[in-house]
């Protein structure tokens, strides 16, 4: 199979996999009237921008001066530009317009309904203009996907590939459709890794483009240790990697290993004393990685993530639950006094650290990966109110057992070895997540 045909297959697979999302996005645009006349198109532009930003595309907004728009018979116009550079070749501009001619008579349904019937989507702009937005956007995402996969593959030596070990939660169909790429790229077969673990590349809907050896379910922090599969499955995966020509195994650990006894900021050489089953199993798997490095030469690196958040976060995680409550008009649940603090890490910073650890991490070492600021839960609620523009009400409940009081990472080791430097502030990260939550509610 040629490189060109492989690229085409990758692009087609991405577009086919995300077709339902593309249809939903087009329906949202159709449901926002942008008839011209009267030409009041700025609201449609803003909706389009938010939908594109929810796909992790960077959108420039260029409002047209009202007087100039009026000279051309329109009330409001905003031009949007999305730029992506794939190399040093020519610049290609794809143009789409959001305004449409007002609907005539004879419609069997609402021209703004975005209704799908018998496999066809009906609505004004569904065949042209608004459909161009979605066609170009999802083609752009497919090209970006292809570039990231190619970059990931190129960054690994031909006989020494990197693997990241983590528990992956989320909808099973999303996990299943992501299985193929790394298995083919690295050459592992699923049955070599055993039932509980498989080698995959995370689909971009999960917010990452990294090779991951994933367990079927994330551990429930409320379960007893005997019910958590992480330790056993991690052992089996490490066994499967003995003697394999890999350059790194990156284990996704957690700040939960520290417990409440560690000094602030938390250093990797601090004695871990976890206070939850989740933290205990994360620490146990860290020790297993070290054991297999010392005894069998498996080049394992462990990353202790500090409260990762961002677009595509699982529905059961904190910020997703907070924003969902705001969108539904419900109070935000606060466990305890709200003065507990966390070091929040934006998902893009965590993903970059993971990719860098797969290349530059020192085997046998553990690294803290934190966002660089210590913020209380009450301060988080203030930020959520600011970025959402909504009133926040609080439902205070008893503190949960097993929850750490404070976390704050000393990342000097990661900075020295991995050149780690968090780039997204908590307010900006929450703003990006809010846009994604709004667009996907």
DSSP annotation of 406 reads B
Distance of CA 223 to the CA centre of its chain: 26
Distance of CA 401 to the CA centre of its chain: 28
Helix (H) or strand (E) holding 121: strand 120-122
Answer for the pair 215, 196: CB distance below 8 angstroms, yes or no: yes
Cα(274)–Cα(262) distance, integer angstroms: 10
Cα(197)–Cα(236) distance, integer angstroms: 8
206: nearest Cα among 161, 252, 243, 249: 252
Answer for the pair 396, 267: CB distance below 8 angstroms, yes or no: no
278 is catalytic: yes
How many other CB atoms are there within 10 angstroms of residue 31's CB atom? Answer: 15
Nearby residues of 140 by Cβ (< 8 Å), 6 or more positions away: 57, 82, 84
Exposure string of 361-399, with b = 16+ CB inside 10 Å and e = fewer, is bebebbbbbbbbbbbebebbbebbeebbeeebeeeeeee
Exposure string of 242-254, with b = 16+ CB inside 10 Å and e = fewer, is eeeebbbbbbbbb
Six-digit token pair at 267? 């250093």
* C-alpha neighbours within 13 Å on the C-beta side of residue 165: 29
DSSP annotation of 217 reads S
Q: Give the three-class secondary structure for 167.
A: strand
| Catalytic position from the list 278, 292, 305, 408 | 278
Helix (H) or strand (E) holding 70: helix 66-71
Nearby residues of 284 by Cβ (< 8 Å), 6 or more positions away: 230, 231
Question: Across the strands, what pairs with 253?
Answer: 304
Question: Across the strands, what pairs with 375?
Answer: 342
Q: What are phi and psi of 316, to 5 degrees?
A: -90, 0
Could you give the residue numbers annotated as active site? 278
């Amino acid at each position: 199979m040629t490189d060109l045909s492989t690229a085409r297959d990758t692009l087609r697979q991405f577009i086919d996999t995300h077709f339902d999302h593309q249809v939903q996005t087009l329906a949202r645009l159709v449901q926002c009237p942008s008839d011209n006349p009267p030409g009041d198109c700025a609201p449609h532009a803003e909706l389009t921008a938010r939908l594109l930003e929810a796909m992790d595309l960077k959108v420039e907004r260029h409002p047209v001066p009202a007087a100039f728009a009026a000279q051309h018979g329109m009330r409001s116009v905003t031009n949007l530009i999305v730029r992506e550079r794939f190399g040093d070749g020519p610049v290609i501009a794809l143009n789409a317009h959001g305004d449409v001619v007002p609907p005539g008579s004879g419609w069997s349904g609402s021209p703004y309904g975005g209704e799908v019937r018998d496999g066809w989507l009906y609505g004004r702009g569904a065949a042209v203009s608004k459909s161009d937005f979605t066609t170009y956007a999802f083609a752009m995402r497919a090209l970006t996907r292809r570039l990231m996969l190619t970059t990931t593959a190129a960054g690994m030596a031909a006989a020494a590939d990197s693997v990241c070990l983590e528990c992956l939660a989320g909808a099973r169909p999303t996990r299943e459709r992501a299985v193929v790429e790394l298995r083919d790229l690295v050459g592992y077969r699923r049955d070599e890794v055993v039932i509980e673990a498989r080698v995959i590349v995370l689909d971009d809907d999960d917010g990452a483009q990294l090779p991951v050896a994933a367990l079927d379910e994330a551990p429930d922090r409320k379960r007893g240790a005997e019910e958590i599969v992480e330790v056993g499955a991690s052992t089996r995966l490490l066994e499967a990697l003995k003697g394999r020509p890999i350059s790194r195994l990156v284990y996704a650990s957690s700040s939960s290993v520290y417990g409440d006894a560690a000094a602030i900021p938390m250093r990797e050489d601090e004695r871990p004393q976890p206070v939850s089953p989740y933290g205990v199993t994360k620490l146990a798997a860290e020790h297993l990685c070290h054991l297999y490095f010392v005894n069998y030469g498996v080049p394992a690196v462990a990353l202790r993530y500090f409260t990762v958040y961002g677009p595509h976060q699982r529905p059961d995680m904190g910020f997703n639950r907070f924003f969902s409550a705001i969108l539904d008009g419900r109070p935000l649940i606060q466990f305890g006094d709200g003065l507990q603090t966390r070091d929040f890490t934006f998902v893009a910073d965590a993903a970059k650290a993971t990719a860098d650890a797969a290349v530059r991490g020192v085997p046998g070492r553990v690294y803290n990966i934190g966002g660089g600021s210590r913020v209380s839960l009450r301060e988080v609620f203030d930020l959520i109110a600011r970025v959402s523009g909504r009133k926040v009400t609080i439902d205070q409940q008893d503190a949960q057992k097993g929850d750490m009081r404070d976390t704050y990472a000393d990342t000097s080791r990661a900075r020295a070895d991995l050149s780690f430097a968090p780039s997204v502030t908590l307010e900006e990260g929450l703003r990006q997540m809010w846009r994604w939550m709004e667009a996907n509610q």
